[in-house]
Amino acid sequence: MRIVIIGAGLLGVSTAWFLAKSGNEVVVIDRRSAPALETSFANGGMLTPSQAAPWNTPGIAWQILRLLGQDESPIRIKYSRLAGLAGWGTAFLRYSKSEHFRNNFQKNIRLARYSLDQVKMIRQQQGIVYDHSHQGTLKIFQSREALRHARALLEIAAPETIRYELLDQQAVIALEPALEPVSDTLAGGLYFPDDEAGDAHRFCLELANASSLAGVSFLYDTTLTAMVRQGNRIQSVRTTSGDLTADLYVLAAGSYSRMLAQSINLRLPIYPVKGYSLTIDTVNTPGRLPVLPVIDELRHIAVTPLGQRLRIAGKAELAGYDTTIDSRRSGLLLKFFRQLYPELASGLEPDAIQPWTGLRPYTCDGVPLIGSCSIENLILNTGHGHLGWTLAAGSGRLIADMISGNRPGLDLTPYALSRFE
Ligand SMILES: Cc1cc2nc3c(=O)[nH]c(=O)nc-3n(C[C@H](O)[C@H](O)[C@H](O)COP(=O)(O)OP(=O)(O)OC[C@H]3O[C@@H](n4cnc5c(N)ncnc54)[C@H](O)[C@@H]3O)c2cc1C
Residue whose CB lies within 8 A of the most ligand 1 atoms, among 203, 239, 240, 360, for a mutation test: 360
Please name the residue whose Cα sits nearest to atom 2 of ligand 1: 43
Asked if residues 379 and 352 have their Cβ atoms less than 8 Å apart, the reply is no
Average pLDDT over residues 30-55: 98
Torsion sign (Cα): 46, 51, 56, 60? negative
**Strand, helix or coil for residue 160:** coil
CB-based pocket (< 6 A), ligand 1: 6-12, 29-32, 36-40, 43-46, 223-224, 252-254, 256, 260, 275-277, 313, 358, 360-361, 382, 384-390
Ligand 1 midpoint to CA 32 (Å) = 13
Mean pLDDT, the chain, integer = 95
Cβ-contact 45, 51 below 8 angstroms: no
HSE-CB of 46 using CA atoms within 13 angstroms:
29
* Residue to mutate (ligand 1; options 386, 387, 415; most atoms within 8 A of CB): 386
Among protein residues, the one with the nearest Cα to ligand 1's atom 37 is: 253
Name all domains of the chain by residue range, CATH numbers in brackets.
Answer: 2-420 (3.50.50.60)
Question: Cis peptide before 286, with omega less than 30 degrees from 0?
Answer: no
State the distance from the centre of ligand 1 to the C-alpha of 360, rounded, in angstroms: 6
Q: Please choose from 39, 241, 322 the residue to mutate so as to test ligand 1's pocket, defined by most ligand atoms within 8 A of CB.
A: 39
pLDDT > 70: percent of the chain: 100
Residue 171's φ and ψ, nearest 5 degrees, are: -70, -35
Tens digits of residue pLDDT in 166-182: 999 999 999 999 999 99
Q: Cα(43)–Cα(311) distance, rounded to whole angstroms?
A: 8
More confident residue, 135 or 161: 135
Contact 237, 2 (CB under 8 A): no
pLDDT for 81 equals 72
Residue 101 φ/ψ, nearest 5 degrees: -60, -50
Q: Is the pLDDT of residue 84 over 80?
A: no
Alpha-carbon distance 211 to 209, whole Å? 5
Atom of ligand 1 at shortest range from CA of 390: 11
CB 343 within 8 A of CB 181: yes
278: left (phi over 0), alpha (psi -120 to 50) or beta: beta
For residue range 392-405, list pLDDT tens digits in order. 999 999 999 999 99
**Closest residue by Cα to residue 39 from 393, 382, 394:** 382
pLDDT confidence of residue 208:
98
In the chain, helix, strand, coil percent, each to 5?
Answer: 40, 25, 35
Task: For ligand 1, atom 5, name the residue with the nearest CA.
Answer: 44
Q: Does residue 158 carry a pLDDT above 80?
A: no
Task: Give the per-residue pLDDT at 68.
Answer: 83
Contact 36, 45 (CB under 8 A): no
Q: How confident is the model at residue 46 (pLDDT cuts 50, 70, 90)?
A: very high
Output the CA 372–ligand 1 centroid distance in Å.
20
Q: Is 162 helix (H, G, I), strand (E, B) or coil?
A: coil
Asked whether 207 and 13 are in contact (CB, 8 A), the reply is yes
> What are φ and ψ of residue 318, in 5° steps?
-100, 95
| Cβ neighbours for 311, distance < 8 A, ≥ 6 positions apart | 42, 43, 44, 45, 199, 277, 278, 279, 280, 302, 303, 304
Give the sign of the dihedral formed by CA 123, CA 129, CA 132, CA 134.
positive
> In this model, does residue 229 exceed pLDDT 90?
yes
Ligand 1 center to 382 CA (angstroms): 9
CA atoms within 13 A on the CB side of 265: 9
* Burial bucket for residue 219 (CB in 10 Å: 0-12, 13-18, 19+): middle
- What whole-number distance in Å separates Cα of residue 63 and Cα of residue 60? 5
Per-position b or e across 151-166, b if 16+ CB within 10 A of its CB: eeebeebeebebebee
